[in-house]
Chain A
Amino acid sequence: MQRFIVTRLIYGVFVVFLAVTAVFFMLRLTGDPVLLFAPMDTSAKDLDEIRERMGFNDPLWVQYGRYMRDALRGDFGESTRLHRPATAVVVERLPATLELGVAALGISLAVGIPLGMLAAVRHGSVWDRLAGLLAVIGQAVPNFWLGILLILLFAVALKWLPTSGRGSWEQLIMPAVALAAASVARYARLTRSAMLDVLRQDYIRTAHAKGLSPTRVIWGHAFKNASISLITTTALEIGRLLGGAVVIEQMFAWPGVGRVTVQALLNRDFAVVEASVVLFAVVYTVANLLADICYAWVNPQVRVS
């Protein structure tokens, strides 16, 4: 088990290293960052002075060396847009993104799994078809589209919820639902197929035969086994939710990492983009690592291979 964890950790570090490097070079392909923060009446000579001062005139490998050295200490330099340390800009938004992500994951699990169970247990019934339909809609509707719909319906027309922003629990509802929709659908489908697999097994028939109540058979025996595949999905789902948050945060004026990243990208604020991409990479890697470990823990066969 220990060796397994160490191997996974090394993979994780390697993945983060690749992300750190890739984001550096890709950003430098996008163009000159100075033009987007210097006023438009800056002369060519002054523009070049700024480039020189900020080190953009140095050879790329020199810039990369400097960047890696600082990045190892968690320092991505100063945001050109905000004149503040990029790491602080990104890290202070993390709570908002986590809040949104956890709420969305909670909704996905709380709605998706029961929906899938219902569909599996009442296989072929109206419930099954309804759950299937919901799953298709959830996956087919883009989240920003759903977001705008929710705003129009619940904020503008019915006036039940505030249109956007963060601060109260009412403001969390629409962005979390919009973000969770696709995830609910995936959980529902996955739970359904995993449960259908398990329900066909001999030991379920045995459990029924020895007179256990249907509730105990479903939750105690079937779901416990079906849930193994849900663990891996959850790690992937966390990554998807982080990605989706970029759009949802913009739509609902949610002050999270995603929104800061979009703003930084549009302004070629390299330091902030680098810090946030690395943060996303770390969160994603850790989530995967935990999933791998959990998976190995519940299913010993994995450890061997």
Chain B
Amino acid sequence: MATPREFNGIIYDLLTGRVSRREFIKRAGALGLSATSIAAILAACGGGEEEATSTGSSGGSSRGTGATPSASPAASGGSGATGSGGTLDRVVVALGADARTLMPNTIVDATTTWQLENIFDPVLRRDPDNNFKVGPWLGELTSIDDLTWEIKIVKEGIKFHNGEPFDAEAIKVSLEYALDPANKSHYLERWKPITEITVVDPMTVRLKTSEPYPIMPTRLAELYPIPPKYLAEKGIEYVSQNPVGTGPFKFKEWVRDEHLLLEQNPDYWRGPVAVKELEFRYIPEFASRLSALLAGEVDIIKDVPVDAIERVNSSGVARAIEIPSSRINYVALVNNREGSIMADKRVRQAINYGVNVDAIIEGVFQGHATRMAGALSKINPEVDPSIEPYPYDPEKAKQLLEEAGIQPGTQIVLDSPQGRYPMDTDAAQAIAAELEQLGFRVQVQYNEWGTHLDKIVNRRTGDAFYLGWGPALDAEGTLRYLFVGDSTYSGYTNPEVEKLIAEASKTVNPERRQELWNQVQRAVWEDAGWLFLWQQHDIYGVSNKVEWTPRVDESLFLGTVKPRQASGPKTGPKHG
């Protein structure tokens, strides 16, 4: 019996031109589809192709207005601060899921953060112009000594949307909110080392920690201040549904599972943005999201599969924009389990020599992924740039396996999630095929996401498991969680490495800390703790009416959206 996934899959292939009509009819027939429905689908898809060449705007839809540039700059209320190009009346972003709450500092969930970061500003922020290092935003951070940090607010007169001034008290209250167990904040664990929060003056906060906490800048980049008076007056329940921040957009309306409507904050402290109204619309199915983009109903969609890029680019209404993401993918080679053949370093090295990662990137991702040399990606500001990828050398791999006494036909079980990452099952299959070239017999176990996590946490995976991690933009957030034996999602133990990691995690001096992280990176590379794979590329479908550059940190900050010059040249995907 064919599953919905299979059906959608073949429609998809047809839409994206991956299969011919003839091939489609054959496959659809094999799935038990009647001739009538096959004919109907072909007719519908044909219609879509014809339409693709026309650029007519959508009619008949009550909501499908899409983004329309304002008639004249005068109509935009003289918002000269947006620079050249004028303003956009409305930008619609389609997301797969709703925000879980509109209260920041509560739930760790990417989709929730993408929406909140347009209403709220973080204390610190990763700066795309400075290699995505954490830099100042609402505040600036200084380390006073190993246990003391000071935040200075960057500018006087910053106000929340309700007029309440943003000050040191707001930072304090926001931290206290996250630290109160009654609020069940996911960030509680991350703020635990803080023992004291002192408001020095309205522009200054001091934080004391129980132990050196060098990851503080990263943590403050995910702290979004909330207005203290508003919170005290209205209560958490109300504020969670009626957010008030300092950000570029003000809250207007939220209908759960339907949409979140925001409007331009004319008094934004960095100058008003070019978008008058921003809507997040929730469309769970990718095929429906893509349809909405092609029909001109929405302006930005995320996670376009590589095989749909052509369809988007040839539509005449939108184009695919691509950026190498900070999210990394790897295969953990479980070295710390009794009886695992991965306990032998030579086997792990052999796998790194013997799997042709570049070929998989080309074959499975059509080039839409970037190879990683070691455990950190090239865009991670703390990467050791001297590390080179393992060269593809199957002869050396076989020789290492022979030295390790591995007989041809030895079985490996590889656990892979299904539908979690772009092309995950295809990638797992390709890796398995490469391993079989080395003489292994590989059994790939595809797991539903929850089951996959269960298996890793309870150490019930095979000798290897495929996992993604991100956004991975600092060394600690990756190395400490994935290369320490008793960490939740780790499959690797090495006492030397653990000692280095423990030291680095407590070192505040940036140079010393970087040196220690470099040592960790070189050690896990040499020890072949993983089969190092690739950074995935985030591919967005963006309407031709909109100019926008996505960020590597998977942030969906839309304050940078601008109208696109109507007669501009059609651009294809940008390769990173």
Contacts and interface: CB of A to CB of B under 8 A. Distances in A.
Interface stretch (B38-46, B144-152, B356-364, B532-540): B38-46
Contacts of A32: 450, 453-454, 457
A197 interface: no
Interface string A83-94: 100000000110
A182 interface: no
B34 A144 contact: no
Interface stretch (B118-126, B276-284, B332-340, B390-398): B276-284
A153 to B, nearest CB: 4
Given A31-B451, A83-B101, A253-B283, A40 B288 contact: no
Contacts of B101: 82-83
Given A137-B36, A148-B8, A162 B63 contact: yes
B63 A144 contact: no
B50 interface: yes
Contact of A140 (B37, B259, B284, B449): B37
A163 interface: yes
Interface centre among A42, A157, A247, A260 (most CB of B within 10 A): A157
B292 A164 contact: yes
Contact of B295 (A159, A166, A167, A170): A159
A144 B8 contact: yes
A156 B189 contact: no
A51 to B, nearest CB: 12
A10 interface: no
Interface string B25-61: 0000000011011001101110110110000101111
B287 interface: yes
Interface string B320-357: 00000000000000000000000000000000000000
B291 interface: yes
Contacts of A40: 469, 481, 488-489
Interface string B1-26: 00010011001000100000000000
Interface centre among A146, A149, A155 (most CB of B within 10 A): A155
Contact of B61 (A31, A142, A159, A250): A159
B189 A42 contact: yes
Interface in A53-97: 81-83, 92-93
B81 interface: no
28 contacts: A31-B450, A32-B453, A35-B453, A40-B488, A40-B489, A43-B487, A92-B256, A93-B257, A133-B36, A137-B34, A144-B7, A145-B11, A148-B11, A152-B15, A152-B45, A155-B291, A155-B295, A157-B50, A162-B61, A162-B295, A170-B62, A171-B63, A253-B288, A255-B258, A259-B257, A262-B284, A263-B97, A263-B284
A149 B40 contact: yes
B100 interface: yes
Given A40-B481, A133-B36, 8 more contacts: A31-B454, A41-B481, A149-B44, A151-B288, A159-B56, A163-B64, A166-B258, A268-B450
A83 B100 contact: yes
Interface of B: 4, 7-8, 11, 15, 33-34, 36-37, 40-41, 43-45, 47-48, 50-51, 56, 58-64, 97, 100-101, 106-108, 184, 186, 189-190, 255-259, 281-285, 287-288, 291-292, 294-297, 449-451, 453-454, 457, 469, 477, 481, 486-489
A301 interface: no
A177 B388 CA distance: 57
Nearest to B458: A32
A43 B189 contact: yes
Contacts of A167: 62-63, 258
A158 B61 CA distance: 11
Contacts of A159: 51, 56, 58-61, 295-296
Contacts of B256: 92, 255
A166 B58 CA distance: 18
B50 A165 contact: no
B488 A153 contact: no
Contacts of A255: 255-258, 282
A35 B450 contact: yes
Interface string A229-271: 0000000000000000001001111010001101100111000
A103 to B, nearest CB: 17
A253 B291 contact: no
A39 interface: yes
Report the 10 A-B pairs with minimum CB-CB distance, sorted nearest first.
A157-B47, A255-B257, A39-B108, A162-B61, A168-B62, A253-B283, A153-B44, A152-B44, A35-B453, A163-B292
A253 B100 contact: no
Interface in A165-187: 165-168, 170-171
A18 interface: no
A37 B107 CA distance: 9
A149 B100 contact: no
Interface string A15-50: 000000000000000111001111111111011000
A270 B487 CA distance: 26
A140 B34 contact: yes
A141 interface: yes
B47 A253 contact: no
Contacts of A82: 100-101
A253 B258 CA distance: 8
Given A43-B189, A92-B256, A170-B60, A142 B48 contact: no
A137 B39 CA distance: 12
B285 A253 contact: yes
Given A142-B4, A149-B41, A160 B488 contact: no
A43 B37 CA distance: 51
Contacts of A253: 258, 281-285, 288
Nearest to B100: A82
Given A43-B189, A159-B295, A251 B285 contact: yes
A161 interface: yes
A156 B11 CA distance: 15
B51 to A, nearest CB: 5
Contacts of A262: 284
A262 B51 CA distance: 33
Contact of B450 (A36, A83, A151): A36
Contacts of A140: 33-34, 37
B28 to A, nearest CB: 10
Nearest to A36: B450
Given A156-B294, A162-B62, A260 B257 contact: yes
A260 to B, nearest CB: 7
A37 B453 CA distance: 11
A268 B51 CA distance: 41
Nearest to B453: A35
B184 to A, nearest CB: 6
A36 B453 contact: yes
Nearest to A140: B34
B1 to A, nearest CB: 10
A193 B184 CA distance: 60
Contacts of A41: 190, 477, 481, 488
